[in-house]
Every structure is written in C-alpha cells, then in structure tokens.
Structure 1
Amino acid sequence: MTVPEDRCRLVLIVPDIADMDEQAKMVADALRGGDVASVIIPQYGLDDGTFQKHAEKLVPVVQAAGAAALIAGDSRVAGRAKADGLHITGNLAEFTEAVEKFVPKLIVGGGSATDRHNALEIGELRPDYIFFGKLDGDIKPEAHPKNVALGEWWASMIEIPCIVMGGTDPKSALEVALSGAEFVALRTAVFADPATAPSIVAEVNALLDEKAPRFED
C-alpha cells in the first residue's frame, strides 16, 4: 500500500443537485470509497443564501472524511460555512484580492488559466494550487488535451501544485496522473450514478496506486 501523497491524488467536484440532503449523501458515500485530497463545492446557479445552506451541509461531511472543503463562489459563504479554502474561478484581480485577504487563513487556489502566460500570472500570486480546466469542463470521456499539456508543463517546472480537470471516464484520472500533475479533479466520472460513486473512488485510487508515477521528495 503506497502513501497517497507520493502520487497524483483525487479531487472531487460536487455535482449540481438541488436537493441538499441528496447532494450531501452522494458526497459522503463517494468519500467512503477511498483517498480524496479535497472537495470543491461550486455555487452553480444558486443564490448566495441557498448556496450558504448547501455549503453548511457539505463542509462538515467533507471534513469528517479527512478531505479539505473548498468553496468555489462567495468568500463570505466559505467563512460562514467554516470551509478550508476558496476556489477562485474569476479573473486575476479577484484572485489577487483573495490571496491577499485570505492566505494563510484559508487555502486559496483555482484559476481560469487557458494558456501559459495566464498560468504564470496566477503563479506569481503564489496561490496554494492552480487549476487547469473548468469545474464543469468534463464533457468528454478523456481530459481536455490542452489542460493535460498545461499540467505537464507546469508540474515539470513549478513548485505550486496543479489540479487538472479529468473527463467523464474514471480512467481519465490516470491520463492526468501520467502528465505529472499532483491532483486530478473528477465530477461526472464519479457522480453520474450515485450508487457506484464509492466503488469508482476506490477504483480510481487502485488505478493510481498501481500506475501513477511517484513524486520525488
């Protein structure tokens, strides 16, 4: 059994489900499947008040499983829900403000880096991680080749960890891991069928244990 930290780890993105209890149960079940580094909780189309309720329900579930709960959306929601961090999807100004205001109290990362220049601008802010892809960008079975390429380039030269968005096929996690990225994010691949979410998390971890490259200390 390998220590998960020495290879690419899984990040889950909470699916867009209006029923709060159902959403929390799905996440709790998935987390029982095995190692998950963090869970990103997007706002989707919810107003701040409703999102607040969702976040307050989800954050303790995520933290109880030993993962970091990251709010993608309103920083006030992150504070009130006692989340571990903020996932920023906005522009550089928004990112800069979040880093200045919340690091090191909260984990701050994210980005909408679509090319190397964007990525390096974000990197200069020294966030806790950078994210390649969109939170709902899992539209094909495989990870988007551009994001995998960016992850490979970044991981080969920059200390700040990166998360690369995977595809709808759980096996896309390995494709991301082979790029050298520290984390792979999955959403539909895990949550398309709630009943199989725990077994898919277990399967992805087994695949990464077996085939993902190991990081040097």
Structure 2
Amino acid sequence: MADTEQPQLYLISPPDFDLSGFAETLGRVLDGAEVACVRLALASHDEGEIARAADTLRDVCHQRDVAIVIDNHILLAERHGLDGVHLTDGARSVRKARKQLGPDAIVGSYCGTSRHDGMTAGESGADYVSFGPVGASSLAAGETAEIEIFDWWSQMIELPVVAEGGMTPELIAQLRPVTDFFGIGTEIWAEDDPAAGLAALLSP
C-alpha cells in the first residue's frame, strides 16, 4: 500500500450486545465516519440470536452502503443476504467458503501472526487477511502481531491486510503506512459515545 493512502475502517461488533441499542449505536458511528466494512462477531452459539442480529445490522449497514460480513457462519451469510464471511481458522475454510458463496462474496481470513497462513489464505481465494492482535487484547494469549509483519506484507503481497486487536492511537500512527484496514471493535464500544471514541482513536 502506498504511504500516501489512508487505511480504511473495518468495524468489529462486540461479542455480546443488546440488539436494538447496538443497532442505533452502530448507525450513529457509521453516520459519523467513512467505514468500509462491519463484521458481526457475536460469541453466541444461538443461531436464532445470530440470525436476528444479522438481519438487523445488515439493514443498518446496507442503508449506508457499507458491507457487512459475519464470523464463520457461511450458511447464515448466504441465507441472510450478508456480503460475506470472516473466517477465524486461518486458511483452512477459505476454499469451502469461496465455493459456497461464489466469486462476488467477501471472504476474509484471520491468520493471527502467521505469514504462512496469510499467504495460503490468499492463494485459496481470500479477499483479505487480518493479523493480530497488534496490542493488548483477548484475541491471543500474549502473542502479538508485530509491525514487521505488516511492513513485510505491504512490500511483498498485494492482498489487502487488516490490523486488529488492541488498537491505540500510537499503534494506529505506526501502522498507517503499512496496513490497508484498521480493525476496530472493543476499543470503542465501551465508550459512552463510540463515535467520539473512534474519532479520538484515529486522531493524529
């Protein structure tokens, strides 16, 4: 990615939320910032709950021309008219998701700190890979994706890359030249005003 380009925003839902309240909050955040994609990342295993969230947040996003993907649920992505799926098992399910969802769907792959998984995901048909966490986060036990992996990726690989997990203003400043997307979630949702929290996080 050229240093002159600014990374796009990729918002990640909380793992648990009150649907009506979060839908309103998400709408306000989307109205206040230019967001490329939203990821529904519920921790729940209740398919009905996930389906209701998918329908509600799809409408919030699509009314604003923002894409929405869902963690791992290939069938729900297809059934509820979402734009694609974000896979959390590295490259293992990319081919399956691409085959089932077709060439136009978004298929993303979370690869932790593994360049090898990232390259394999790209070769298997992923539209983007994400590495993380870049800072203190519950995403991984102590291991973080260092700036070097993004620097290397941006120079060697054309596939877009997302930096996520434990974002701080300092990390965002360091990552600006070497990532395509900032994946931002729990960093802002606990704020009284998540839209203001997002603006503060992105402040130079």
- Structure 2 length normalisation: TM-score? 0.84
**Separation in structure 2 between the aligned mates of residue 122 and residue 92 of structure 1, nearest angstrom:** 4
- Is 1:51 aligned with 2:64? no
SS at 1:123 equivalent: helix
Deviation at 1:89, TM superposition (A): 0.9
Q: Which amino acid aligns with 1:8?
A: P
Q: How does 1:1-150 map to 2 (within 5 A)?
A: 6-133=5-132, 138-139=137-138, 145-150=144-149
User: Are the aligned partners of 2:78 and 2:101 in contact in 1 as well (CA < 8 Å)?
Assistant: no
**Separation in structure 1 between the aligned mates of residue 147 and residue 101 of structure 2, nearest angstrom:** 29
- Structure 1 length normalisation: TM-score? 0.80
Q: Which amino acid aligns with 1:200?
A: G
Gaps in structure 1 of 5+ consecutive residues: 208-217
SS at 1:17 equivalent: coil
Deviation at 1:86, TM superposition (A): 0.8
Structure 1 residues 65 and 34, CA, compared in 2 at 3 Å: closer, same or farther?
same
User: Are the aligned partners of 2:58 and 2:82 in contact in 1 as well (CA < 8 Å)?
Assistant: yes
**Separation in structure 2 between the aligned mates of residue 164 and residue 177 of structure 1, nearest angstrom:** 10
Structure 1 residues 182 and 28, CA, compared in 2 at 3 Å: closer, same or farther?
same
Structure 1 residues 170 and 192, CA, compared in 2 at 3 Å: closer, same or farther?
farther
Q: Which has the higher contact order (CA 8 A, sep 6+)?
A: 1
SS at 2:35 equivalent: coil
**Separation in structure 1 between the aligned mates of residue 201 and residue 64 of structure 2, nearest angstrom:** 17
Deviation at 1:49, TM superposition (A): 1.6
User: Are the aligned partners of 2:16 and 2:42 in contact in 1 as well (CA < 8 Å)?
Assistant: no
Q: Which amino acid aligns with 1:95?
A: V
Q: Which amino acid aligns with 1:107?
A: I
Match of 1:165 in 2: 164
Gaps in structure 2 of 5+ consecutive residues: none
User: Are the aligned partners of 2:90 and 2:121 in contact in 1 as well (CA < 8 Å)?
Assistant: no
Deviation at 1:182, TM superposition (A): 0.5
> Among residues 162, 179, 182, which one is paired with 2:180 in the alignment?
182
User: Are the aligned partners of 1:89 and 1:112 in contact in 2 as well (CA < 8 Å)?
Assistant: yes
Structure 1 residues 104 and 204, CA, compared in 2 at 3 Å: closer, same or farther?
farther
Superposition misfits of 4+ residues, deviation over 6 angstroms: none
SS at 2:32 equivalent: coil
User: Are the aligned partners of 1:14 and 1:41 in contact in 2 as well (CA < 8 Å)?
Assistant: yes
Match of 2:199 in 1: 202
- The alignment yields a C-alpha RMSD, in angstroms, of 2.6
SS at 1:6 equivalent: coil
**Separation in structure 1 between the aligned mates of residue 98 and residue 112 of structure 2, nearest angstrom:** 16
